[in-house]
Every structure is written in structure tokens, then in C-alpha cells.
């Protein structure tokens, strides 16, 4: 996974057709998705239950870009090797999910993956100040995690602060929650470069009509890149 600051669109397959994941993944990639975002929830850290390592392993052969796996689980450390074996390219853990995020990031990298850390809306940017040399991505939650389709929470001040703290380090800032053509310019202007979008990508389309996915992806990208131009 090479690093650059171009805007990347990472559709969340939480909004895809659960009975048709393989074709859905192929469709969004064919229509311009840069990454494929996989939301893992445990019914404990967040109030929902989604994909275990076996499901993620089943997605892997269909993903030709970057499989971006977001763990909304606690604890994280016992599952790192399982998600590495499943083929995650990026594995993101929540700062709030355990007492030793430093060790978690070390373990993710040791397992051969890029290491991400996610911040809930109530967690300040300063929580990651001493971790920036151990991370490849910071995921700023712009909703409270656990469900798709929520209303965007304005975190632009936090994004700006993180971009300032990161400096010239090769660290992505990812936004997860409520991203659409209206909110994309706001977060891109603040310094985000990876935009996770679920319903905003999948709405109105299907594997039998995937061009709608492409229109939705292009619309979000154009809105975000307009402020980066």
C-alpha cells in the first residue's frame, strides 16, 4: 500500500447486499473505489454484530485494491493474527478499546499489516500524540460507531489538529461516518485524505446496476477534490 495524499474513497460494505458480497466488492472496485472498508463489530464495544475473521477471509479474494479492516471490538490483541491471516491490508483498532494501544499498534505491524487507530467523537486528538510514529492511519469517527446511516458530527477542528500533529509523517487521516458530497469538502479541507462512505455509495445501485455506485463515488470524490485543487 503506497502512501500519497490523493483523496481515496473507501466504500463500507456494511451498506452492501449481504447475500452478494463478492459481486458487490467487484462492482465498487470496477466503479472506482480506491479501498474496500470492512466494519468489524462485536456487539460489546459497539451495539451491533458483523464480520468475524472467516467472513473477512472470504471477502479477500474479491478485493484487488486495499482491504481496510476497522475493528470496533474489545479486546483487540487476541484477534490481530486472525485478521492478518484473513488478509487485511490495514487493521485499525480503537484507542478506547483497551489500555495498551501502543502495544496493539506494534502487534499489528509485526503481523505484517498497516496499523490504524480510530478515535470516537468524544476522544481528543491529543490521545494519539505519542503514537504517531507507530501508526499509518488515524480514523476520525464522525458518528458514534455501531451503525451505518447516522448523521455526520462535525470534527473538522480535530482533523485540523491531527494534520498539524502528523506533520510530514506518512499518515493517512480517514473519516468514517456520514460522508457524502456535502460533508466531503469539509473534511478534505481540514486535511483528511481517506473517506469512508456506506449508504452514500451504495444507495440506488446494485450489482445489476453498478453504474450508480460509480456516479456516487465520483460525486464524493469531485466534492472532496474541489477543495484540494
> Catalytic one among 39, 68, 136, 193?
39
Q: Is 77 a catalytic residue?
A: no
The helix/strand/coil state of 78 is: helix
Which residue among 42, 68, 176, 180 is the active-site one? 176
Bridge-based pairing state of the strands 66-72 and 90-94 = parallel
Smallest CA-to-CA distance from 65 within 38, 92, 105 is with 38
Sheet order of strands, 35-41 included: 8-11, 194-197, 172-176, 137-141, 114-119, 90-94, 66-72, 35-41
Is 176 among the catalytic positions? Answer: yes
Question: What cell numbers appear for 202 in the block?
Answer: 451504495
Which helix or strand (DSSP H or E) is residue 116 part of?
A: strand 114-119
DSSP, collapsed to helix, strand or coil, labels residue 104 as helix
Residues with a known catalytic role? 39, 176
Amino acid at each position: 500500500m503506497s502512501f500519497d495524499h490523493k483523496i481515496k474513497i473507501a466504500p463500507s460494505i456494511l451498506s452492501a447486499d449481504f447475500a452478494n458480497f463478492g459481486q458487490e466488492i467487484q462492482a465498487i472496485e470496477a466503479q472506482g473505489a480506491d479501498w474496500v472498508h470492512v466494519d468489524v463489530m462485536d456487539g460489546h464495544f459497539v451495539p451491533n454484530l458483523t464480520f468475524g475473521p472467516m467472513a473477512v477471509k472470504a471477502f479477500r479474494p474479491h478485493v484487488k485494491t486495499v482491504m481496510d479492516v476497522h475493528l470496533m471490538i474489545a479486546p483487540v490483541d487476541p484477534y490481530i493474527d486472525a485478521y492478518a491471516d484473513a488478509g487485511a491490508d490495514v487493521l485499525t483498532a480503537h484507542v478506547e478499546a483497551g489500555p495498551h494501544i501502543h502495544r496493539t499498534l506494534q502487534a499489528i505491524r509485526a503481523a505484517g499489516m498497516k496499523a490504524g487507530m480510530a478515535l470516537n467523537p468524544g476522544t481528543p486528538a491529543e490521545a494519539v500524540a505519542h503514537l504517531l510514529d507507530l501508526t499509518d492511519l488515524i480514523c476520525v469517527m464522525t458518528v458514534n460507531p455501531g451503525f451505518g446511516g447516522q448523521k455526520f458530527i462535525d470534527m473538522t477542528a480535530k482533523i485540523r489538529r491531527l494534520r498539524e500533529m502528523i506533520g510530514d509523517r506518512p499518515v493517512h487521516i480517514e473519516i468514517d461516518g456520514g460522508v457524502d458530497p456535502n460533508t466531503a469538502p469539509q473534511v478534505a479541507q481540514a486535511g483528511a485524505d481517506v473517506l469512508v462512505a456506506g449508504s452514500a455509495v451504495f444507495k440506488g445501485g446494485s450489482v445489476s446496476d453498478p453504474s450508480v455506485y460509480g456516479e456516487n463515488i465520483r460525486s464524493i470524490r469531485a466534492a472532496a477534490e474541489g477543495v484540494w485543487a
